[in-house]
Structure 1
């Protein structure tokens, strides 16, 4: 079965490259369409067997599993464009949190799933969120979940959970990266370390802390307790974080959910 990708932008390209690199997809069974052929030039260089086109209907006609990797405001137009070329049994996958699966399924009668991947799939880590429409067959569900299971954990959810789930998994890498940057910059302002040194130390600390939680099963509370001695410097720093972070993250959640509803 051919697997087709319509759109080769930021997330589309990350998905294609990651799934090919993991071995989940055979290049000879992959098709990619994009309005600009030059955007796909690096893909052709690394995976010459991947079929490329600028015609979305070609992908629709040849593929049994089709990922629509365009902006939310372009999804309906793309679906209407490819609909006459689709096999009635084709499995169509959306990667936009702001597009309603129920509406697409109701309007066009398609077998629809939604996938929200993370940029961290490039390194084989990070949670992929998946939701399946009512008429998606069991084999189609398993194929999609196993495919993304090759590049990190998969969590199957109901569609109403995508907004908060996306905040944690898809938006999360940007929030964590911003935290690392601000943490490092605060150290740089004290004049002891260069920006590169501080960033490297904080990044390694975040990685090591995550490893303690994942590999050793330690909770955040246990790690804080093991580091922060009573009356020590870590305890003072944690007091500042506990005062400020809850309201900051509440506001981050609020604005992302508002934007999600508007998209």
Structure 2
């Protein structure tokens, strides 16, 4: 099958890199475009045999599966413009959480799926969050799942946990990366360690941490228990975390969900205007 991607920003480019690294498709089976077309040509410098299309209509005409990787408020007008070019055999795949499967299906005459990726997919790892429309064929569903398994672990979710699942899978690397960077900055400030050495040690710790979980040696609670010897240094550190984290993550979740609801409201307003 031929794939298309509309929008080659950060996540669009990460997906292309993952697909090429995992050999999900051949370069000459991929058609890409971007509002700033030079970004698409920049990707073609890495993968010379991909097709760069000057506009979205060319992608719709060429591709069997079209990934929509634009901002949420750009999707409505894009799909309205593409409507007359799409057939029931094609499949639109959106990567943004505020657009429900039902809303996507109401805007196009073709099959629909939603696949929310993660930056971890670039390492051919991590989760992709998956939802399928009612009109998608079993053949297309199987093909997409098989393709996504080549670089991730596709996990089917229901609409009511979409935002929280995305917070963990898609936003999580940024959230925990931010905490790690704060730890590194504090280490440099409070001790004689250099930021470079602290960063290297922290990065290697994260790699080993992930390996322990990936290999099934420990669950998260077991890992904490093994490292946190009663009365030891780690235990003293955990006391600080218990005292100072408080409801920080509750507030984080409240904020991301508020933004999610705001985006849904804006999207609903677009539909009403149409």
Structure 1 and Structure 2 fold alike (TM over 0.5): yes
Q: Which residue of 1 aligns with 2:31?
A: 31
1:107 CA drift (Å): 3.8
Distance 2:29 2:260 in 1: 34
Q: Secondary structure at the match of 1:170?
A: helix
Is the 1:97–1:116 Cα contact (8 Å) retained in structure 2? Answer: yes
Distance 1:87 1:109 in 2: 6
Matched, 1:129 2:129: yes
1:249 CA drift (Å): 1.0
User: Which stretch has the larger CA shift, 92-101 or 33-42?
Assistant: 33-42
User: Which stretch has the larger CA shift, 66-75 or 103-112?
Assistant: 103-112
Pairing of 1:9-28 with structure 2 (within 5 A): 9-28=9-28
Q: Which residue of 2 aligns with 1:206?
A: 206
Is the 2:97–2:166 Cα contact (8 Å) retained in structure 1? Answer: yes
Distance 1:228 1:103 in 2: 48
1:28-73 deviation per Cα after TM superposition (whole angstroms, max 9, x unaligned): 1110111222112232222121111121111111211111111100
Distance 1:244 1:147 in 2: 43
Q: Which residue of 2 aligns with 1:7?
A: 7
Q: Which residue of 2 aligns with 1:48?
A: 48
Distance 1:17 1:121 in 2: 9
User: Which stretch has the larger CA shift, 206-215 or 22-31?
Assistant: 206-215
Is the 2:86–2:108 Cα contact (8 Å) retained in structure 1? Answer: no
Q: Which residue of 2 aligns with 1:148?
A: 148
Cα–Cα, structure 1 residues 151 and 187, in superposed 2: closer, same or farther, change >3 Å?
Answer: same
Distance 2:223 2:2 in 1: 47
Is the 1:64–1:87 Cα contact (8 Å) retained in structure 2? Answer: no
- Count of matched residue positions in the alignment of Structure 1 and Structure 2: 263
Is the 1:88–1:110 Cα contact (8 Å) retained in structure 2? Answer: yes
1:135 CA drift (Å): 0.9
Distance 2:127 2:145 in 1: 12
Is the 2:31–2:51 Cα contact (8 Å) retained in structure 1? Answer: yes
Consecutive unaligned residues of structure 1, counting only runs of 5 or more, are none
User: Which stretch has the larger CA shift, 205-214 or 73-82?
Assistant: 205-214
Q: Which residue of 1 aligns with 2:268?
A: none
Distance 1:142 1:69 in 2: 22
Is the 1:61–1:87 Cα contact (8 Å) retained in structure 2? Answer: no
Q: TM-score, normalized by length of structure 2?
A: 0.91
Distance 2:105 2:260 in 1: 20
Q: Which residue of 2 aligns with 1:61?
A: 61
Distance 2:215 2:15 in 1: 26
1:226 CA drift (Å): 2.0
1:246 CA drift (Å): 4.8
Distance 2:6 2:225 in 1: 49
> How well do the aligned residues superpose, as a CA RMSD in angstroms?
1.4
